[in-house]
Amino acid sequence: MKKIKDTLVRDRPREKIERLGVKNLKNRELIAAIIGRGIPGRDVNLISSDVEKILDEKEGRIEISDLLALEGIGLSKASQIVAAFELSRRYSNEKIIKVTCPEDVLPMVEFLRQKRQEYFVCITLNGAGEVIKDRIVTVGLLNHSPVHPREVFSDAITDRCASVIFVHNHPSGNPEPSQQDTDITKRLCEAGEILGIEVLDHLIVSQRGYVSFKKRGLI
- Judged against a pLDDT cut of 80, whether residue 89 lies above it is answered with no
112 and 148 together in one domain: yes
Containing domain of residue 44, as a range? Answer: 4-91
Residue 62 φ/ψ region, left for φ over 0, alpha for ψ in the -120 to 50 degree band, beta for the rest:
beta
| Structure confidence at residue 141 (pLDDT) | 55
| Structure confidence at residue 167 (pLDDT) | 97
- Strand ranges of the sheet holding 163-169, from the earlier edge strand across to the other edge: 131-139, 119-125, 163-169, 198-206, 209-212
Is residue 203 a part of any domain in this protein?
A: yes
Is 181 or 93 the better-scoring residue by pLDDT? 181
Rg (Cα) of the chain, in Å, rounded? 23
206 and 106 together in one domain: yes
What CATH number does residue 116 fall under?
3.40.140.10
Other beta carbons within 10 Å of 91: 7
| Structure confidence at residue 142 (pLDDT) | 45
Question: Residue 74 — pLDDT band, cuts 50, 70, 90?
Answer: very high
Span 185-202, mean pLDDT?
96
67 and 106 together in one domain: no
Worst-scoring range by mean pLDDT, 37-41, 81-85, 101-105, 138-142? Answer: 138-142
Q: What percentage of the chain has pLDDT greater than the value 70?
A: 96
181 and 209 together in one domain: yes
The last residue of one of the domains, among 60, 91, 122, is 91
51 and 107 together in one domain: no
| Structure confidence at residue 186 (pLDDT) | 95
| Structure confidence at residue 2 (pLDDT) | 79
Give per-residue pLDDT as tens, 4-60: 888 888 889 999 999 888 888 889 999 999 999 999 999 999 999 999 999 888 777
Q: What are phi and psi of 49, to 5 degrees?
A: -65, -40
32 and 127 together in one domain: no
Q: Three-state secondary structure along the chain?
A: CCCHHHCCHHHCHHHHHHHHCHHHCCHHHHHHHHHCCCECCECHHHHHHHHHHHHHHHCCCCCHHHHHCCCCCCHHHHHHHHHHHHHHHHHCCCCCCECCCHHHHHHHHHHHHHCCCCEEEEEEECCCCEEEEEEEEEECCCCCCCCCHHHHHHHHHHHCCCEEEEEEECCCCCCCCCHHHHHHHHHHHHHHHHHCCEEEEEEEEECCEEEEHHHHCCC
Is residue 97 a part of any domain in this protein?
A: no
Say how many domains are in the chain: 2
The last residue of one of the domains, among 49, 71, 91, is 91
13 and 116 together in one domain: no
Is residue 138 a part of any domain in this protein?
A: yes
| Structure confidence at residue 145 (pLDDT) | 59
80 and 116 together in one domain: no
Give per-residue pLDDT as tens, 130-152: 999 999 999 875 455 568 899 99
CA dihedral 8, 14, 16, 22 (to 10 degrees): 160
140 and 42 together in one domain: no
Report in angstroms the alpha-carbon separations of 101 from 95, 136, 200: 18, 21, 10
23 and 128 together in one domain: no
Give long-range contacts, CB 8 A cutoff, 24+ apart: 186-189: 187/149, 188/147, 188/149, 188/152, 189/219
- Judged against a pLDDT cut of 90, whether residue 3 lies above it is answered with no
Is residue 96 a part of any domain in this protein?
A: no
The last residue of one of the domains, among 68, 91, 114, is 91
- Judged against a pLDDT cut of 80, whether residue 90 lies above it is answered with no
Q: What are phi and psi of 129, to 5 degrees?
A: 80, 20
